[in-house]
A = this chain, B = another copy of it.
């Protein structure tokens, strides 16, 4: 599994078009396969075949299946965050927007219904949520004696956990409604130290 907090290291600023192409093809292949079968049931051989790449090429980019899943999830979620322009600058409603992003992502990526739950998505999504918070915290006068990192981590885990619980609930309430609930729960985490 890749490290938790260095997205830059995880995707080491690939420039060579061949590298980008291979990685994109692998991710696309995985997405396609995930619509057909469970993650655990997919072999690296299959992924490579589906991507029309040699199996050895896979290992050139990712140490194992999980690393690919993680990289792919992080990339897709990061993309969603970028598309929506999520940031912590426009402070109010930011938490709700982020929570909605996580909920939507979980729901949207539901190629295969029950499969997502058994995936190590937390290691992909949580760091991204965390970084959004941290980026926002940087724009702000630092409260002395408070570690913004800890705050960001705690909030990110709380949001993801809540969103995950929502997602695995049979008859879900609308994502927007859930996001509001999550905001109500998570906002106080930040206020807890703000004063």
Quick one: CB contact mask for A150-167 with B, threshold 8 Å, 1 for yes? 110111111011101110
> What chain B residues lie within 8 Å of A162 (beta carbons)?
150, 153-154, 157
For this chain, the copies found in one complex come to 2
In the assembled complex, the Cα of A123 lies from the Cα of B193 at a distance in Å of: 29
Of A16-24, A72-80, A179-187, the one contacting chain B is A179-187
A4 contacts chain B at the CB level, 8 A cutoff: yes
Contact (A193, B184) CB under 8 Å given A156-B161, A157-B162, A162-B157:
yes
How many A residues touch B, CB cutoff 8 Å? 35
Quick one: CB contact mask for A1-23 with B, threshold 8 Å, 1 for yes? 10010000000000000000000
> What chain B residues lie within 8 Å of A120 (beta carbons)?
120
Which of B154, B164, B181, B191 has a CB less than 8 Å from the CB of A158? B154
User: Is A157 a contact partner of B150 (Cβ separation < 8 A)?
Assistant: no
Q: Which residues of A contact B (CB under 8 A)?
A: 1, 4, 40, 117-118, 120, 122, 126, 149-151, 153-158, 160-162, 164-166, 168, 181-182, 184-189, 191-193
